[in-house]
Structures are given as C-alpha cells and as structure tokens.
Amino acid sequence: MKKELMDFLKSSLDYGSMNEKDAYEDQDVFLLMCFSDLIGVPNPYAYYMSELLPYIARDLPSWQWRLTQDKLEFLGDAEQKYDFHTF
C-alpha cells in the first residue's frame, strides 16, 4: 500500500518536461540509428531503414534541429562543410 501511495505521489509531481525530454532522447537515438546518414554519418543499412521514412518523415526536421542545434552546437554551422540533408 505504501509503495502504491509513493508511486502515486511521485507521478503526480512528475514534471511533464522531464519525461518529455527522456522520451525525445530515446526517439532521437532511435532515429539516429536509422538515419545517421542524414547528419553525415554513413549507414550501411540505409536501404532497409529508408522503408521507415513514411512513418517518421514528419519528425525529421525537429529531430535534426534537436541534434544539431540543441545538443551538438558545433555541428550548427557544419552544415556548409559536411554532407547534410536538412529539412
């Protein structure tokens, strides 16, 4: 009973932004595994991964933004230098 109560209190105080960040990070890693060549890292499975494009195409611009602007600032102006596909 105590555990259930603690869990309830914990989740009610859970700041949505914390979970959101976690969830986005996971999705970012997933997209990175599939579409690394979109940020210049060659991916030998690109042919098979491209089959997933119709399902995640809408997430790509924000994903790219998070990867290049949000965390990896040095990649910000590398767009001109490297083979990026940006959306």
Partner 1 sequence: MEELEKFVFFAGKGGVGKTTCSSIYALKCSERGLKTLLVSTDPAHSTDKILETTLDEKEKKIKEALWAKEIDASKEAVSHRKKIEKEMKQVVGPDMMNKLQGYLKMTHNSPGVKESALLDALIRTIKESKRYDKVVFDTAPTGETMRLLQLPELLSSWSEQLIERRKKNLEKLGRVGEKSKVDLDDDPLIKRLKSRENKLKFGRKVLLNRSSVIPVITPEKLSMLETKDSIKSLEKMGVDIPGIVLNRIASETATEERKSYEKKILNEIKKNMDKKVMGRVPLMEEEIIGVEKLSEHIDELDIC
In the structure encoding, which two tokens stand for residue 40, read together? 């210049």
Burial 57-85 (b: 16+ CB within 10 A, else e): eeebeebbebbbeeeeeebeeeeeeeebe
**6 interacts with partner 1 by CB under 8 A:** no
Q: Is 15 in the site for partner 1 (CB under 8 A)?
A: no
Tell which positions 21-40 bind partner 1, by CB under 8 A: 22-23, 26-27, 29-30, 33-34, 37-38
Q: What backbone phi and psi angles, to 5 degrees, belong to 41?
A: -100, 115
Residues that bind partner 1 (CB under 8 A): 16, 19-20, 22-23, 26-27, 29-30, 33-34, 37-38, 42, 44-48, 50-58, 60-61, 85-87
